[in-house]
């Protein structure tokens, strides 16, 4: 029966049944396969669902997908016309979600990467946008300290500063650990939780760059227990 269902989904993969089976699982699979080039397809799918439901949950998910997609594009495909499209979309999502009760504070975490991406996309603005990005990350921690997004995005910023400008990888490690602990406390550990997997990966990379290879391997093993099909992890382990 499962085999028939699988074949059915392949044959009518454009149908609502298969598309809605789990967008999170399909995003997670694409993430671990390191196949993020076409993530605009997921964003388009979420946009169609948002137009029908006007759900802030869907809009927030779309904003986070846009965030990770922009990171991929800016470091792998800087000439993509999707950069401007997704930056504009992310800014609008943040603006809208700030007005909601549920995500008004949580979405502050996304302001930091949005400003950083704008600076990367237009280096002439980096002088003022990068300090604004760091300030936005601190504001998110202050306003939503119980949100894993606040700590994960602060960790991402600390990691990038340590890697490219100068700073302590230990600061990024502490932030990622807090983000991961909050996700685990909320009971949101799942093989389809791509944001959790991304946070674990950057914790491992932070340990690695801090020359703490044993701890990096422990985190890599933790990812593999959740996603044994994450083949790239085997290449990265020390």
- Please report the DSSP string for 141-188 in residue order: HHH-TT-HHHHHHHHHHHHHIIIII---HHHHHHHHHHHHHHHHHTT-
Find out whether 165 and 148 touch, Cβ atoms under 8 Å: no
Tell me the CA end-to-end span of the chain in Å, nearest whole number: 41
Q: Are residues 45 and 114 in the same domain?
A: yes
Based on the domain organization, do 138 and 50 belong to the same domain? yes
**Statement to judge: residues 114 and 177 lie in one domain:** no
Instruction: Please provide the average confidence, as pLDDT, over all residues in the chain.
Output: 90
Task: Quote the pLDDT of residue 238.
Answer: 76
Could you tell me if 135 and 192 lie in one domain?
no
Shared domain check, 175 and 138: no
Identify the pLDDT of residue 22. 87
Asked, for residue 28, whether it belongs to a domain, the answer is no
Percentage of the chain with pLDDT > 90? 82
Assess whether pLDDT exceeds 60 at residue 4: no
Residue 48 lies in a domain: yes
- Give the pLDDT of residue 21: 56
Residue 149 domain-assigned? Answer: no
> Does residue 165 surpass a pLDDT of 50?
yes
As a whole number, mean pLDDT of residues 141-155 equals 97
Q: Are 125 and 176 part of one and the same domain? A: no
- Residue 188 structural domain: 171-238
Domain tally, the chain? 2
Q: Output the domain CATH number for residue 177.
A: 1.25.40
């Amino acid at each position: 029966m499962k085999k028939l269902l699988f074949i059915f989904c392949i044959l009518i993969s454009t149908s609502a049944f298969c598309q809605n089976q789990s967008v999170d699982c399909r995003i997670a699979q694409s993430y671990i396969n390191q196949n993020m080039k076409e993530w605009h397809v997921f964003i388009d799918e979420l946009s169609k669902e948002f137009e029908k439901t006007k759900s802030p949950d869907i809009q927030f998910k779309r904003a986070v997908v846009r965030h990770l997609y922009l990171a991929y594009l800016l470091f792998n495909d800087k000439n993509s016309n999707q950069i401007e499209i997704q930056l504009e979309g992310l800014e609008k999502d943040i603006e809208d979600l700030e007005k909601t009760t549920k995500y008004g504070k949580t979405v502050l975490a996304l302001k930091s990467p949005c400003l950083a991406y704008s600076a990367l996309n237009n280096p002439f603005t980096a002088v003022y946008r990068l300090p604004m990005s760091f300030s936005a990350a601190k504001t998110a921690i202050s306003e939503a300290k119980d949100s894993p997004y606040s700590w994960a995005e602060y960790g991402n910023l600390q990691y990038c500063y340590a890697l490219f400008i100068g700073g302590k990888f230990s600061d990024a490690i502490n932030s990622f650990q807090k983000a991961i602990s909050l996700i685990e406390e909320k009971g949101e550990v799942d093989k389809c939780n791509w944001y959790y997997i991304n946070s674990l990966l950057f914790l491992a990379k932070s340990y690695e760059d801090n020359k703490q290879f044993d701890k990096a391997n422990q985190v890599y093993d933790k990812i593999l227990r959740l996603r044994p099909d994450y083949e790239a992890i085997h290449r990265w382990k020390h």
